[in-house]
Amino acid sequence: MIELILLSLLLLLAHLVLPSILAAAAGNVSAEFLLGPRDETPEFSKVTQRAKRASANLLETLPAFLVLAVLSILTESDVTVLAQAWLLLRVLYLFAYLSSVAYLRSLVWTGALACLIGMALPLI
Percent of the chain at pLDDT > 90 equals: 72
123 DSSP assignment: G
CA–CA separation, 74 and 93 (whole Å): 29
Domains with residue ranges and CATH for the chain: 2-123 (1.20.120.550)
pTM score, two decimals? 0.89
Number of alpha carbons in the 13 Å side-chain half-sphere of residue 78: 1
Rounded to 5°, the CA angle 101-85-104 comes to 15
Torsion of CA 54, 59, 65, 69, to 10 degrees: 120
pLDDT tens-digit readout, 39-97: 666 777 888 889 999 999 999 999 999 999 999 999 999 999 999 999 999 999 999 99
Rounded to 5°, the CA angle 66-71-74 comes to 130
